[in-house]
Structure 1
Amino acid sequence: MTDFKGEIAALSAACLWAVASTIYGRLGERIPPLQLNLLKGIIAIAFLLLTIPITGEWLPNISILPLCLLVTSGIVGIGLGDTAFLAAINHLGARRVLVIGTLAPPIAAILALVFLQERINLSAWCGILLTILGVAWVITERTPDGGMGETGDTRNVAVPFFASPFWKGIGFSLLAVVTNATGMVLSRAAFIDSGVNPLWAALLRLSAAELILLLWIALRSRQGNYQFKTLHSRQFVMAAIFASFCGTFLGIWLQQTAVKFTVAGIATTLMQTSPLFTIPLAIRMGERVSPRAIAGAVVAIAGIGLLFYLK
């Protein structure tokens, strides 16, 4: 009898990421993506270090190859991927960024085919096409004022077309999708070759990402083109802690649990249902959500379901 441990973990992560992404969208108005990514990672690592003694999950015996895979997964998927994700939210809005994120399963499937020899059938390729069509349906929607983005004014003729906030958001979103799909496949490969538990996998990935972010910020600061924003507001700090607890600490722990206990395709598919959780949040916050946006999300999710469930 299947206990669906991995599937439940993936859906729970998707729900938590939807909540956290909305909060990160607000926090991103105050501090740059690099600093926000560093901050949420530090908070999540603190929670993980507090959790390890409680769970009794002490340092596992892990070989060099899985360790390198997890470290690389953290650098690519969290260090680069989450920074791009937060930058995309600043330019495009959380809902559309999460919908574009539904491209991750097809990309993960292609990467798994190349590097893990996981073959996909004709129905899977049909799912890829349907997913792309659903995403394209949403991101090409025009807002009532004539622009296509949720932030910025894409009609300003003084701004080059591909330099507009909308297209910057699209670029950062696609970068986040590719890097996060790559990180997922690397994590899956690490679990196949070792018995490392999800808690330590999350800690190793986050630690590697934080180290890269610190080096990245130090290099930019030395060049004189980066400056930390001081956090004065207590409300801002509490919001950052809450979002980091939900989206980074619990989210990445649940993500690694899903990757360990179910195949990468199903885990990635279920974790991309965040747009379905985001739409009710957007409505509650007073944001206009059109029938087209809802239909596009449904089509994209249907494509993902076809990609991994119809054989």
Structure 2
Amino acid sequence: MGKGFGELCSILSALAWAIGVMLYRQLGARLPPLQLNFLKNAMVLLMLLPAIPLLHGLTLPAFTAMQIFAAVSSGLLGIGIADTLYFRALNELGAGRMGVIGNSYSPFVIVLSFIFLGERLQPLQIAGFVLVSLGVWLAAWPRPGQAPRPAHAVRGFALALLAIVLMAISIVLVKRVLEAQPLLWVTGLRMLGALAGMVVIAMLRGETALLTPPTVGMPWRKLALAAFVGQFLAMVLWLAGFKYIQASIAAILGETASVFILVLAWFWLREPLGRRAVVGVGLTLSGVSVMLWAR
């Protein structure tokens, strides 16, 4: 792939995820986290079934047993468990606070990539990381009086942080598999791991009834849109970014999702955009520019 393709995928993934978060926030008011996560991932698997042969053909890739284990485990941790925890935290904290906590994702990936993948950031890339992180903090941190303190702030923070740690572990776990195998096949294996993990979780918790959609008032259209944009497109682009560039760089560029959420809320929902948020957006875009120039 050409220079800049992986970076473009990471940024577009952040935009798709930002749109998805807005839809998931609305869906979360009607569907429990486990049910929402299972149904949207089941939809994504149905989308992958025709996409895999269209893009990669019908020839089965030569996966090793270790690669299959890594991909399935990555899906179990990063989608099955982490996304369920993320939706629970999103319901309790709201999108703004989740955007701030989500800023811890790239440092976790950077540390894990340094330890397990041997990745190193160049000085300019470190400068870009600092600008992106500072911009996201300024843009996403709730203004005084903007939102009431959540009733379960500590629990929500713990769930959000655990979700982000599991996401970071899952992507580092599957990074080498992504480099060696076709993108959508790896995506499909991750999704199978996620769905199997959620079935086990539901059985252990005695909540298997949540794996079936409600018979009345099910928002199918909004769920399908959220699954396609916020999961299918976001995940494929996200994994493509990690496939073609360093995991550390892809994670940093993915932080722009918080800024996209802020701008979309201003444009789409007519939420106010303060001066601090504008400065944050500018810093984030500057950091992204530095990251791209460093390439």
Secondary structure at the counterpart of residue 205 of structure 2: helix
Question: Hey, what does 1:159 align to over in structure 2?
Answer: none
Question: Hey, what does 2:164 align to over in structure 1?
Answer: 177
The amino acid of 1:75's aligned partner reads: L
CA–CA distance in structure 2, aligned partners of residues 128 and 9 of structure 1: 17
Contact 1:107-1:181 at 8 Å conserved across structures: yes
Alignment counterpart, residue 255 of structure 1, candidates 238, 242, 252 = 238
CA displacement, residues 136-158 of structure 1 (integer Å, 9 cap, x when unaligned):
5566644426xxxx4xx43xxxx
Question: Hey, what does 1:157 align to over in structure 2?
Answer: none
Farther off after superposition, 7-16 or 50-59: 50-59
The amino acid of 1:18's aligned partner reads: A
Farther off after superposition, 130-139 or 104-113: 130-139
Alignment counterpart, residue 168 of structure 1, candidates 155, 159, 167 = 155
CA displacement, residues 53-85 of structure 1 (integer Å, 9 cap, x when unaligned):
333254211112222211121111111221122
Is 2:269 aligned against 1:285? Answer: yes
1:179-198 matched pairs, under 5 angstroms: 179-192=166-179, 194=180, 196-198=181-183
CA–CA distance in structure 1, aligned partners of residues 143 and 47 of structure 2: 41
CA–CA distance in structure 2, aligned partners of residues 16 and 139 of structure 1: 18
Question: Hey, what does 1:271 align to over in structure 2?
Answer: 254
CA displacement, residues 124-171 of structure 1 (integer Å, 9 cap, x when unaligned):
6676666665565566644426xxxx4xx43xxxxxxxx834443332
CA–CA distance in structure 2, aligned partners of residues 46 and 197 of structure 1: 18
The amino acid of 2:245's aligned partner reads: T
C-alpha root-mean-square deviation of aligned residues, in Å?
3.1
| Identical-pair percentage | 30
Distance 1:190 1:133, change over 3 A: same
Contact 1:269-1:308 at 8 Å conserved across structures: no
The amino acid of 2:199's aligned partner reads: L
Secondary structure at the counterpart of residue 286 of structure 1: coil
Question: Hey, what does 1:119 align to over in structure 2?
Answer: 120
CA–CA distance in structure 2, aligned partners of residues 254 and 61 of structure 1: 23
Gaps in structure 2 of 5+ consecutive residues: none
Question: Hey, what does 1:218 align to over in structure 2?
Answer: 203
Farther off after superposition, 42-51 or 291-300: 291-300
The number of residues matched between the two structures is 293
Contact 1:99-1:297 at 8 Å conserved across structures: no
1:44-55 matched pairs, under 5 angstroms: 44-55=44-55
The amino acid of 1:256's aligned partner reads: L
Farther off after superposition, 210-219 or 126-135: 126-135
CA–CA distance in structure 1, aligned partners of residues 74 and 165 of structure 2: 12
CA displacement, residues 61-111 of structure 1 (integer Å, 9 cap, x when unaligned):
111222221112111111122112212221222243234323222211100
Alignment counterpart, residue 206 of structure 1, candidates 185, 191, 202 = 191
Pairwise CA distance, 1:45: 0.1
CA–CA distance in structure 2, aligned partners of residues 200 and 175 of structure 1: 27
Distance 1:217 1:273, change over 3 A: same
The amino acid of 2:97's aligned partner reads: R
Structure 1 length-normalised TM: 0.81
Question: Hey, what does 2:104 align to over in structure 1?
Answer: 103
Question: Hey, what does 2:43 align to over in structure 1?
Answer: 43
Pairwise CA distance, 1:17: 0.6
CA–CA distance in structure 2, aligned partners of residues 138 and 108 of structure 1: 22
Contact 2:136-2:284 at 8 Å conserved across structures: yes
Distance 1:132 1:270, change over 3 A: closer
Structure 2 length-normalised TM: 0.85
Contact 2:85-2:159 at 8 Å conserved across structures: yes
The amino acid of 1:270's aligned partner reads: L
Is 2:220 aligned against 1:237? Answer: yes
Farther off after superposition, 99-108 or 203-212: 99-108
